Structure 1
Amino acid sequence: MGPTTDEEEPETGGGLGGNAAVETVSRAVAEVAGLPESRGPLRRLCCDLARRVKLLSPLFDELRDGGGGSLGEFQAQALASLHGALVDAKELLVSVNDGSKLYQALQREKFVHQFLEVTEHIEKALSEVSYDKLDISEEVKEQIELVHAQLRRAKGKIDSPDLQLLSDLNWALAEKHCDPIILRRISGKLQLSTINEMKKESVALHEMVISSGGEPEECVDEMSSLLKKLKDCVVVENPTSDTVKNNTSSVNHRSPIIPDDFRCPISLELMKDPVIVSTGQTYERSCIQKWLDAGHRTCPKTQQNLSNTALTPNFVLRSLIAQWCDANGIDLPNKQGNCRDKKPGRHSDCDRAGINSLLQKLKSGNQDEQRAAAGELRLLAKRNANNRVCIAEAGAIPFLVELLSSSDPRTQEHAVTALLNLSINDSNKDNIVNAHAIPRIVGVLQNGSMEAKENAAATLFSLSVVDENKVIIGAAGAIPALVDLLRRGSPRGKKDAATAIFNLCIYQGNKVKAVKAGIVEHLMRLLVDPGGGMVDEALAIVAILAGHPDGKLAIAQSNPIPVLVEMVKSGSSRNRENAAAVLWSLCTGDAQQLRAARESGAEEALKELTGTGTSRAKRKAGSLLELMRQNMEA
């Protein structure tokens, strides 16, 4: 291709103007290319935008090498417009990189709209550049045409949300004590897995409050609460160098300052065995136990009444303390405890000799002795955390697993319940699975007594907290047995089955198994039976199944719209939210369901929900109302 001539387009008044325009846009492309790779919930949108901008680089490299003076006035104006679009792109990418990841996940639709606007701006500006008239090679021309085509397609394309992340976030925001596995999954997807990332997120939330002029969005409080849960409950596996490791070079000659969060509020010393009380506060085990032994039933720090005296190990904080000690060259606190006047005889909190004696009875082959020993271990494992550790260390788990196949119903009940109590300890979960317990627990679920079935379902729920176990449990045939318990079980059995099914169905493959097992029919029956006490659980499972094509189809075939609309009108806050989410899923891409929803009076109920519902309920209701509006205009 030859250079552009005067007849084709008038020049801007000299080579300097053309060169300046090329340099300016080239620099904007380079600035976008130089941005760090975005992480978090908008990573794909950021990567797609940055990649397309980077692909424009060869165009300006060739123009710069060939001299930009041949650009005409209109070409220069087009490049100026493109420069403005690229500046907008850079500002958006920087704001996402520096902003709150929690906010981006919860307000995803708002950010998607911003990305669509920037993409449209770039595409429009690029369409004004007559690159077919520029002095560029055919190869570069083809590349720019390809990028232009990608931008045109991307203008109207809305990236699919991460439904699992949205489900996890809504659970974590709604529940006071959220499942740690859900919090870990959120931290992984939002890239909030290190101390520095947590601090950056906290700063981003603080900046949001400042920039709002003292009137922050309603969701800021929710996000701050969730961030605290993540800080408290998520294992920080990769602490950043400037928060931990760099401390060693500057403090080798003196004792480092112990972080306040690592000190027991009672003794003010570094904790070696942190435990959580019912108010959510963490204390050194020996200190809070001494407080409780003295007859107190309040939380020392908050003065709130304790709903119970259970002490739950804070494994997350223990791990952080261990990392901090290792990074600062400090020996881990010993097992003596920080409260020196701890009662004698409480060192291990378990009778090792007694546990070993019970273990011998498990091995004896005598059915009566095995039944009695399994019953004792069941009670010991229920009593406290140290017993659960001691029983596992004694090697009891494989023998209890063997007893799951016992012909004696009572022995079987004791064995599965002992394993349920032992599974409260995270390390014991692995030991139980490694002992090949899952197929036998499923066998109890299928053929045991009602009590054994209930506790088998609860055990499977406990084990399924570990993501890998969800797959193993589903493959072992647990889903149909749990669905059967949901249909035929006692009230408690139905609750245990529903809890286990919900957790297992976080894994997509198990949703298919549940649908094939006929769960939707039973769930719809439970939804219209308020007296059965299972409405909340049933709707929660329906909501998670609706995110899978097979689940959506099965739900749609069960005439769900009237029930769901009624739930939006008169259900609890959580149920209205779930019902709106299911309606949105069913009506998206299905005009028949959308018409049924409108005929059932959904529009009025959804309008009311946009004003009074939870944040998620408002979003779903608003999206569904927009679907209805578009359908009526079509």
Structure 2
Amino acid sequence: MGRDDLYITVPSFFRCPISLDVMKSPVSLCTGVTYDRSSIQRWLDSGKNTCPATMQVLQTRDLVPNHTLQRLIQLWSDSVKARPSPITPSQARELVAQLRQSGDYSQPISKLVSFARGSDQNRRFLAAIDGFVPLLVDILGNSSNMIANAEEMLIILQLVLHDYKDRACITKSIMGKKNCFATSMIFVLKNGSLASRIATARLMELVASDAESKLFFAEYNDVLPELFRLLRSESDGDAIRAALSTLICVSMTKKIRVRMIQLGAVKVLGKLLSNANMSVAVNERLLELLEMFCSCKEGRAEMCKDESCIPAVVKKTLKVSTAATEHAVTILWSLCYLLRDEAAQAAVGRGNGVTKILLLMQSNCSPAVKQMAGDLLKVFRVNSKSRLPSYDTNTTHIMPF
């Protein structure tokens, strides 16, 4: 097969019962047993008139091609050939040297991506090769190389940049060629595989390290819409985490937050927050981004209008983690105490939010959270007779004021 078969698991029914090799031309006898044509023909030519596997006497010596099995073997063989062979560190170093000398990047980059994905040690090894990371930046930043091999180039850069010793210098270099980088990133976010889109979002977060870079990527055409499209990959936790982290990273100005809200961010986040299968890290990031939206009136208005958002926030209070609870309380405080929105207050009441706030007051939360919880209780205490009668009759005895 052109590779070392000792390291490849071959399905047993792909092997000829006589030679034990993978069959090239599978044929079946009248007994129903399949053999490789060359092996069974030699058996029959030797004068034997039995099936080698069952030793039954053959009623006919006809050989019927097994086309279905042949197609399966071909598909399996193609998939094996497509798998990149493991490479050693010395081979990885040679591939980096090839990148410097050749204009054809596809083969070396594919192998280096496979090597980098192998382990943290491999990624650190590549990051430490003198000139490798700057070389990747130069290739990606060259307008003539844009789009070509962009997926794997962005993947390998994201994998090794985290461990690079002088990341600040590299990010500065990237920003010097930001238009070329942004074009390649958008292309991959729109057209790439899910793995390359996740890597691109993570790379964007690494590169957006200061106010200028955050603003540039957030305002560049289609970046935010494509990040929200990645965020909607509800079946892939890595995609959701990568998109959320990058959105949080670039949400530094009110202008950017308002644009996200206009793109329907509150509805998307509320729906994700309502999903009971989300991890702790995802819930924390969802609540953190919603808290950021509370800093502008547009965000507060959308959250009060969305039917799923506030109930989901209330449900996550005290249920996920300390960080998630702090984000959730800040959101409720902004809507119910600062904004005094009646719809938000009613939603908190229906979700048993007052009981959770009371429990929070008795926990070891931070002073700031305890103060916000106290402010919220005052609001619901004032409105208890008209809005929350059960709260007034059942829990007044543990009111902190």
Aligned partner letter, 1:617: V
Matches within 5 A, 1:78-117: none
**Kept in 1: contact 2:294–2:331 (CA 8 A):** yes
Give distance in 2, aligned partners of 1:495 and 1:404.
Answer: 30
Would you say 1:610 and 2:367 are equivalent positions?
Answer: no
Aligned partner letter, 2:97: S
Give distance in 2, aligned partners of 1:368 and 1:625.
Answer: 63
Q: CA deviation at 1:350?
A: 10
Would you say 1:567 and 2:309 are equivalent positions?
Answer: no
Would you say 1:542 and 2:290 are equivalent positions?
Answer: yes
Q: CA deviation at 1:507?
A: 3.3
Match of 2:225 in 1: 480
Relative to 1, partners in 2 of residues 1:509 and 1:404: Cα closer, same or farther, differing over 3 Å?
farther
Relative to 1, partners in 2 of residues 1:519 and 1:613: Cα closer, same or farther, differing over 3 Å?
farther
Give distance in 1, aligned partners of 2:130 and 2:205.
Answer: 20
Deviations 1:422-450 (A, max 9, x none): 43322211112222213321321122111
Relative to 1, partners in 2 of residues 1:570 and 1:451: Cα closer, same or farther, differing over 3 Å?
closer
Q: CA deviation at 1:416?
A: 0.4
**Secondary structure at 2:257 match in 1:** helix
Q: CA deviation at 1:556?
A: 1.3
Match of 1:510 among 250, 256, 270: 256
Aligned partner letter, 1:589: L
Give distance in 1, aligned partners of 2:348 and 2:117.
Answer: 51
Match of 2:207 in 1: 463
Relative to 1, partners in 2 of residues 1:404 and 1:618: Cα closer, same or farther, differing over 3 Å?
farther
Would you say 1:523 and 2:274 are equivalent positions?
Answer: no
Would you say 1:387 and 2:136 are equivalent positions?
Answer: no
Q: CA deviation at 1:457?
A: 0.8
Deviations 1:475-506 (A, max 9, x none): 11311111100102622111111111122223
**Kept in 2: contact 1:381–1:387 (CA 8 A):** no
Aligned partner letter, 2:371: R
Match of 2:103 among 364, 369, 385: 364
Q: CA deviation at 1:415?
A: 0.2
Aligned partner letter, 1:434: G
Aligned partner letter, 2:379: L
Aligned partner letter, 2:358: K
Paired positions, count: 281
Match of 1:589 in 2: 339
Match of 1:414 in 2: 152
Q: CA deviation at 1:583?
A: 0.6
Match of 1:627 in 2: 379
**Secondary structure at 2:335 match in 1:** helix
Relative to 1, partners in 2 of residues 1:371 and 1:630: Cα closer, same or farther, differing over 3 Å?
same
**Kept in 2: contact 1:404–1:440 (CA 8 A):** no
Give distance in 1, aligned partners of 2:317 and 2:124.
Answer: 42
Aligned partner letter, 2:103: S
TM-score normalised per structure 1 = 0.40
Give distance in 1, aligned partners of 2:374 and 2:129.
Answer: 49
Q: What's the RMSD between the two structures over aligned residues? A: 3.4
**Kept in 2: contact 1:591–1:631 (CA 8 A):** no
Structure 1, unaligned runs of 5 or more: 1-348
Matches within 5 A, 1:162-181: none
Q: CA deviation at 1:352?
A: 12
**Kept in 2: contact 1:352–1:390 (CA 8 A):** no
Give distance in 2, aligned partners of 1:429 and 1:545.
Answer: 28
Give distance in 2, aligned partners of 1:537 and 1:360.
Answer: 40
Would you say 1:576 and 2:325 are equivalent positions?
Answer: yes
Q: CA deviation at 1:418?
A: 2.1
Matches within 5 A, 1:328-477: 354=94, 357-361=97-101, 363-365=102-104, 367-368=106-107, 371-372=110-111, 382-384=123-125, 387=128, 390-393=131-134, 395-402=135-142, 405-407=146-148, 411-424=149-162, 425-436=167-178, 437-476=181-220, 477=222
Q: CA deviation at 1:404?
A: 7.3
Aligned partner letter, 2:296: H
**Secondary structure at 1:612 match in 2:** coil
Structure 2, unaligned runs of 5 or more: 1-88, 387-401
Relative to 1, partners in 2 of residues 1:381 and 1:464: Cα closer, same or farther, differing over 3 Å?
farther
Q: CA deviation at 1:460?
A: 0.9
Deviations 1:272-301 (A, max 9, x none): xxxxxxxxxxxxxxxxxxxxxxxxxxxxxx
Relative to 1, partners in 2 of residues 1:368 and 1:627: Cα closer, same or farther, differing over 3 Å?
same
Give distance in 2, aligned partners of 1:429 and 1:492.
Answer: 23
Match of 1:141 in 2: none
**Secondary structure at 2:131 match in 1:** helix
**Secondary structure at 1:531 match in 2:** coil
Aligned partner letter, 2:263: A
Aligned partner letter, 2:232: R
Q: CA deviation at 1:374?
A: 7.0
Aligned partner letter, 1:415: M
Matches within 5 A, 1:17-416: 354=94, 357-361=97-101, 363-365=102-104, 367-368=106-107, 371-372=110-111, 382-384=123-125, 387=128, 390-393=131-134, 395-402=135-142, 405-407=146-148, 411-416=149-154
Give distance in 1, aligned partners of 2:223 and 2:304.
Answer: 25
Identity %: 18
Deviations 1:73-132 (A, max 9, x none): xxxxxxxxxxxxxxxxxxxxxxxxxxxxxxxxxxxxxxxxxxxxxxxxxxxxxxxxxxxx
Give distance in 2, aligned partners of 1:384 and 1:369.
Answer: 16
**Kept in 2: contact 1:479–1:510 (CA 8 A):** no
**Kept in 1: contact 2:158–2:203 (CA 8 A):** yes
Relative to 1, partners in 2 of residues 1:374 and 1:563: Cα closer, same or farther, differing over 3 Å?
closer
Relative to 1, partners in 2 of residues 1:455 and 1:352: Cα closer, same or farther, differing over 3 Å?
closer
Aligned partner letter, 1:433: M
Higher mean C-alpha deviation, range 452-461 or range 383-392? 383-392
Would you say 1:556 and 2:296 are equivalent positions?
Answer: no
Relative to 1, partners in 2 of residues 1:553 and 1:389: Cα closer, same or farther, differing over 3 Å?
farther
